[in-house]
Amino acid sequence: PPMVTSGLRIGTPALATRGFTAEDFTEVADVIASALKPSYDAQDLKSRVKALADKHPLYPGL
């Protein structure tokens, strides 16, 4: 039924607009999977996300 959820949908158009490559999307998926594990290194995940954001700035040149 439409009222029963069975998964998580994550939109990716914004990442594609920023120029993320297939390899970047693989890294995004790995970061998400790592964050869902019972024991994760928050500092490591933060640095990985920052690296992706720095590689593909929202407003290049600012």
Q: What does the pLDDT read at residue 61?
A: 81
Question: Mean pLDDT over residues 19-26, rounded?
Answer: 97
The CA distance from 15 to 58, in Å, is 9
What lies within 8 Å, CB to CB, of 39 at 6+ separation is none
Q: Are 52 and 24 in contact (CB under 8 A)?
A: yes
With bands split at pLDDT 50, 70 and 90, how would you rate the model's confidence at 49? Answer: very high
**Quick one: 46 exposed, middle or buried, by C-beta within 10 A (0-12, 13-18, 19+)?**
exposed
Q: Does 57 score more than 70 pLDDT?
A: yes
